[in-house]
Chain A
Amino acid sequence: KQEVTQIPAALSVPEGENLVLNCSFTDSAIYNLQWFRQDPGKGLTSLLLIQSSQREQTSGRLNASLDKSSGRSTLYIAASQPGDSATYLCAAKRVNRDDKIIFGKGTRLHILP
């Protein structure tokens, strides 16, 4: 059974700092891994999706890595801004491409101005 864990549950950092959010999963047989952002009262916004054959994806100041063998993924945010404050969710999809997504509980990020 796939379980996704995110550490830390909450994080506060000063504006401008680089930071790393961690995600671990118990079953390495994944189809892809996705990082989402959720703002209060809003839906989930997909930030980055890494296919099982890939090791990382980049979008602007965001970089996500995937290490299937160790069951880990990281989301790196460079030069953090107050607008980055949100809850970040890591989610793994099982090997069947149409299968459900297993979510972690998320990391609540607060960027201090």
Chain B
Amino acid sequence: EAGVTQFPSHSVIEKGQTVTLRCDPISGHDNLYWYRRVMGKEIKFLLHFVKESKQDESGMPNNRFLAERTGGTYSTLKVQPAELEDSGVYFCASSQDLVAKNIQYFGAGTRLSVL
């Protein structure tokens, strides 16, 4: 069974450009989460989808960030326009909606470098 996959693994862009990150969750997982880690800080929650609906987007830093999950399968996170402080590693995770277990499985992350 394939795990959570993220693309690209690394992106280098200039300030002001647009970047779109993609996450493919484990098949059948309704819950999809985005997290990010900026240098020197802990991994922080960005938002949570249940199928195609945003359950919690309290962690989104500002309106330059737009997350979508059309059809409830893969998700994209767009940063437009990118700023220097957006550099970091963006992780995606997915989980099933089970009562007994709700383990989040993480992807390898996308390392974003804004120059």
Contacts and interface: CB of A to CB of B under 8 A. Distances in A.
Interface size class of B (residues with CB under 8 A): 20 to 34
Dominant secondary structure at the A interface: strand
A98 B103 contact: no
Interface stretch (B11-19, B48-56, B66-74, B76-84): B48-56
Contacts, number: 54
Contacts of B108: 41-43
Given A43-B91, A43-B106, A43-B107, A100 B59 contact: yes
Given A43-B106, A43-B108, A106 B42 contact: yes
A80 to B, nearest CB: 24
B113 interface: no
A41 B45 CA distance: 19
B107 A101 contact: no
Interface in B85-105: 91, 93, 95, 97, 99, 102-105
Given A31-B102, A89-B43, 14 more contacts: A34-B103, A44-B93, A45-B106, A46-B106, A49-B103, A97-B99, A98-B48, A98-B95, A98-B97, A100-B48, A101-B45, A103-B42, A103-B43, A103-B44
